[in-house]
Amino acid sequence: MRVGLGYDVHRLVEGRDLILAGVKIPYEKGLLGHSDADVVLHALTDAILGAAALGDIGRHFPDTEERYKGISSVLLLEKAYALVQEKGFTLGNADICILLERPKIKNYIPEMEECIARALHCERGQISVKATTEEGLGFTGRGEGIAAKAIVLLENR
């Protein structure tokens, strides 16, 4: 068994879609980034790669490469998980926490868990997504950005 931890943060800006865990969330701002800037899937991808000692998302999908501009982070997660499977691991479970003041995303969490489960070829019960505020503190509390933390357990096949 191996454990991996991932963290990511992106700034909220106007003129971008807000994509969290592969789900488009209606909001007046979106996250700034080279890809679709899905902070949730970036943290999860880092956790999965880290658990298998494969580095991080930037090592495999650098933001300096044009082919990743605007790419869906679901595709990056799927590619990263394929690398992990090649090393003989499978997902035990993933626990994800999204840190944001707004928008409120409680109603989107089941769809987020389903999207992640599809990408990782696992049961929804292996995926936990939750959200919390930071009580107005820091950049997430001021609504300047969104952060996400993820931890995964990989099991040997």
Annotated binding residues, as ranges?
8-10, 34-35, 42, 56-58, 61-65, 132-135, 139, 142
CB 131 within 8 A of CB 106: yes
Q: For residues 150 and 142, what is the distance between their CA atoms, to the nearest angstrom?
A: 22
Question: In whole angstroms, what is the distance from residue 24 CA to residue 127 CA?
Answer: 19
State the binding site for a divalent metal cation: 8, 10, 42
Q: Which residue has the tokens 């592969």?
A: 22
Q: Taking Cα atoms as reference points, which of 3, 82, 73 lies closest to residue 43?
A: 73
* Contact present, 35 and 71 (Cβ < 8 Å): yes
